[in-house]
A and B are shown apart, each in its own frame.
Chain A
Amino acid sequence: MNAIEIRNLTKNFGPKQALSGLNMTVPQGVIYGFIGENGSGKSTTEKIICGLIHESGGSVKLYGKPHTDADVRAKIGVLIEAPGCFSSYSVWNNMKLQAANLGIKNADEEIIKVLKLVRMEGAASNKYKNCSLGMKQRIGIAMALLGNPTLLVLDEPINGLDADGMRIMREVLVDITKNGCTVVVSSHILSELEKIATHYGIVRGGKMLCEMTAEELEASCRTYVALKAQDTNRAKMILGCKYSRVEEDEAGYIRVYDMTTPEEIVTHLYENGILVSEIKTDKIGLEEYYIDLMKEGKR
């Protein structure tokens, strides 16, 4: 049984169609990276899954049941945008209120457990308003984890975090899935998402462009040859005459995406009087794959 199964989901905000027949399948126990441009429908989809907004059409099933069922809702943890906390209360009191709403019996024990999981056990007495952005995001995750949910929906949890904050968040998300929890996480920081996601869904214009596992992504990411030459511009021009796709990246490497070998490129440049100082083969990452996909979509 899948954790989430969405079919033909539509959502209209007045005349604007935010979702137009979106399909989505999230297996249990995975970290599902939900990717898309601003306004592509990620947050709308997540809000529908969480019951914050109503769908205009289509079906949303969580563990095979309608997503509006109270028993299913009891199994979901959510962090949409910022956590819903009272700023003048302490972290502990905010957690206690959420635990009371969820009807958790041994609340103190569970709060300590989830605060430890998000590395926030030392900040329980801090007032929420005095917490940093990174801490607030982790508090939001801790609140979402109360009640031992089996599905966690996180909207942009790593936005605005510093490098250390991102590392902690990464570790936290991986820890959460160790006990079988399914995590749906949307983010624009694809390089971070790539480090933890086991499945991906790429959405565009309110539709799912593609869904794939990390392995499938790895297999479909193109290999390229990257090199540095003495005369970059001339090397680019010469290579451009022979190969169909030659680009220069931000680090000054010339990338040749066609099926070829470093030896063939070095020989070709040498024959044209250019010496290669550095050469390697590499694969494009999620970010580049995503950008390529978007470009193809636009074309």
Chain B
Amino acid sequence: MTREIKFESPSFSKRLKGMLGVDFYRLFHTPLFYIFLGIAAIIPAMVSAMTMMPDQNGNTMTPLYSNVWQIIAASEPLYVINSIADYANMNMVFIFGGIMVSIFIGHDYKSGYVKQLFTTHAKKQDYMMSKSIVCAFAMACMCITYFIGGTVGGLLVGYDTAVNAGSLIIAILGKMIMSIGWASLYTFLNVIFRKFFGISIASSFFFGTGILIIGVAAIVENLAIPTAFLNIFLYGSSVNACLTSNVVTLLVCALVSVAWAVFYNVLGTRILYKSDVY
């Protein structure tokens, strides 16, 4: 017995909607997401508290920060770090986020979900986009819990609270917007190293630390070249979103983040199309 076959090509919005539904469901139903939200909240609180703890001789250590909001963002764009305080701010979310994305996407391959997915009408670009959007959302949520943890920790320790509220909000929004670019980078890395879970995590961690840009910044500073051009990179723009930010900073963040997101999505899609998936 044969039956009449009616071919229908599912629209892009229908495909993406379905995939986003699945990815958001998975995100909200995995303990991993909540663990990383917790980590993002605890780390800044711990950093604040530890910098005020007495040392072995009972002397109170010199505080790393002078202001609660420096735990959220640096006072000015510091591409080259001189102390841990210059480095330890909301940008750390992109390191934890990278690990979370690696585990989240790694599970797609481990479970065989990807195999199941790509045998349907799902397209590779839908996969890249869906993962980037969901992981960006997860990292933006981590920025919020980081903000809460950092603020509570800083207030408990007794740091000063004076701030330009507008710049603070722009810095936080800027970093949240940067999540789109970072999530796309991590999705891309995980697509490249999809068969090597450990390398996926390690590479996400490596790029998340921004060590490459910090290195370049050190060289550039020694050569007395202005460092502003580093804002074209994800880490550079993330650093640029600081406590002296203005609307232009936010626009730069949006532009850089979206540009890199598009770049990584296009590249990741091409790699998925060219290579054997499973």
Chain A interface (Cβ < 8 Å from any Cβ of B):
28-29, 47, 50-54, 63, 65, 69-76, 78, 80-87, 89, 97-98, 100-103, 143, 147, 150, 177-181
Contacts of B25 in A (CB 8 A): 97, 100
Interchain CB contact (< 8 A) of A84 among B26, B116, B274: B116
Q: Contacts A81-B112, A84-B111 given; indicate if A100 touches B29 (C-beta within 8 A).
A: no
Contact with A along B95-127 (1 / 0, CB 8 A): 000000000000100011111111111110000
Q: Is A103 a contact of B118 with CB atoms below 8 Å?
A: no
Interchain CB contact (< 8 A) of A179 among B3, B10, B14, B115: B3
CA distance in complex: A95, B117 (Å): 12
CB distance from B28 to the nearest CB of A (A): 12
Task: Mark the stretch among B15-23, B164-172, B236-244 that contacts chain A.
Answer: B15-23
Chain A interface, >50% SS class: loop
Contacts of A102 in B (CB 8 A): 18, 120-121
Chain B interface (Cβ < 8 Å from any Cβ of A):
1-3, 5, 7-10, 14-15, 17-19, 21-22, 25-26, 29, 107, 111-123, 274-278
Q: Is B121 a contact of A28 with CB atoms below 8 Å?
A: no
Interchain CB contact (< 8 A) of B118 among A52, A63, A69: A52
Interchain CB contact (< 8 A) of A71 among B3, B9, B21, B114: B9
Q: In the complex, given contacts A100-B25, A101-B120, A103-B10, what are 6 additional A-B residue pairs having Cβ atoms less than 8 angstroms apart? A: A28-B3, A69-B7, A71-B8, A83-B116, A86-B107, A98-B116
Contacts of B114 in A (CB 8 A): 84
CA distance in complex: A97, B122 (Å): 13
Contacts of A47 in B (CB 8 A): 276, 278
Q: Is A101 a contact of B122 with CB atoms below 8 Å?
A: yes
Closest residue on chain A to residue B126 by CB atoms: A101
CB distance from A91 to the nearest CB of B (A): 14
Closest residue on chain A to residue B275 by CB atoms: A54
Shortest Cβ-Cβ A-B pairs, 5 listed: A84-B116, A180-B3, A84-B112, A53-B276, A78-B119
CA distance in complex: A147, B10 (Å): 12
By CB atoms of chain B within 10 A, which of A53, A72, A84 has the most? A84
Q: Is A101 a contact of B22 with CB atoms below 8 Å?
A: yes
